[in-house]
Structure 1
């Protein structure tokens, strides 16, 4: 939530926001593309078409944002080894399975190597 202790950006990444190379978007719903965010506009202004997804609450925030991004015609990549949730393992597997029609599933190593490497 805005203006709370846990909305602070991780130190090394905060410098990128201060330099203006990255942007900070606030959200109060599951998706980062809800109507009250500037995410879509900020990405379009920068000519960004491909989005890489990582984060916690895979079955909620990550999935909701990825689905909205896909419906807005962004090219989406889900980093399977950089998402997590507290739900049982089958829930993570279900999200990854359902996202296959909307995104590429990769590992971090696959992204770095430029391959569609999966676990």
Structure 2
């Protein structure tokens, strides 16, 4: 018999329209797919109630976000960040600085990046 405890997610109402899921293996995924403004995802990232860093994955895919500011993630860290299929023109280098020890996958495919990270 396994007594499995899922790591915490922030309150669903506090992060809507983003969604948080977790598994008993300790993988927390915050998904903000389809959002049109970075501020919506940033609000979800800053919500109270997540477990300790690093979280498993952050998804911001298939939206119309054009820029990721240096303070976008704050102190939140992930092992996987998927930012593909948006309209990103710029991702400020400082945005992933807090994750440099944890980040394994960063996907920026299918965007409009005009400057390197």
**TM-score normalised by structure 2 residue count:** 0.37
Q: Which structure shows the higher strand fraction?
A: 2
Compare CA radii of gyration and give the structure with the larger one.
Answer: 1
**TM-score normalised by structure 1 residue count:** 0.36
